Copies of this chain bind each other. A is one copy, B any other.
Amino acid sequence: MAIKVHGSPLSPAAQRVLLALAEKDLEYEFILVDLRSGEQKKEPFISINPFGQVPGFEDGDLKLFESRAITKYISHAYADKGTPLIDQDPKKQAIIGVWLEVEAHRFDAVGQKLNFELLIKGFKGLTTDEAAVEQLQGELGKVLDVYEGRLGKSKYLAGEEYTLADLHHLPLINNLFKTKVKALFDERPHVGAWCAHLLARPAWQKVLEACKF
């Protein structure tokens, strides 16, 4: 099998890659990296990612890391397979590009911290910092206010079609929906409807099935 994903099924970044593969209906081999024993910081994994973080990715002789670089590669290299996640027109692609950056620098920046406080700390037996959660919820609310305005004008972030910009949000939305932060999404009707559309995608159901834990 040509495509290999190295990661943990618990990692939202690895799930992002699996989701792009599922949307493209591509087969892959999943190679479990044991994060608890620090396998990601040792050879052979650090030959794929010298920063020692999952996921890693191989397609034949091509080795990649950074989940968003991997999903972009999948979208371009397999443009004619499955769901079109990008656009060949530079101006339309630029709008997708803007919302890809917004996800990475606005949504994920605060969403990851909430994920850490409300879920990862639980797994690790650490105590949630409620004051930090309060502040982070305020920050996420401001980001989602902009999303609400945007999604009032188009069904998805970059227009009427689902694209890679929407896809990148899914693993973290799925995690945050298990916490009280879900209310921030639900109380904004366009954001709430958008999340419902994303979470119902068959490709996402396929990822959940593959990552069952």
| A contact residues, range | 20 to 34
Task: Tell me whether A68 is interfacial, beta carbon within 8 Å.
Answer: yes
List of B residues within 8 angstroms of A73 by Cβ: 90-91, 93-94, 97
List of B residues within 8 angstroms of A93 by Cβ: 73, 76
List of B residues within 8 angstroms of A105 by Cβ: 66, 104
Q: How far is the CA of A72 from the CA of B70 in the complex (A)?
A: 17
List of B residues within 8 angstroms of A50 by Cβ: 146, 149-150
Task: Report whether B94 and A77 are in contact in the complex, using a CB–CB cutoff of 8 Å.
Answer: yes
Q: Which of B68, B70, B94 contacts A69 (CB 8 A)?
A: B94
- Chain A contact surface mostly: helix
Task: Report whether A101 and B68 are in contact in the complex, using a CB–CB cutoff of 8 Å.
Answer: yes
Task: Tell me whether A2 is interfacial, beta carbon within 8 Å.
Answer: no
Q: How far is the CA of A51 from the CA of B72 in the complex (A)?
A: 24
Q: Which of B76, B98, B149 contacts A65 (CB 8 A)?
A: B98
6 cross-chain pairs, A with B, having the tightest CB-CB distances, nearest first: A66-B101, A73-B94, A69-B97, A77-B90, A69-B98, A69-B101
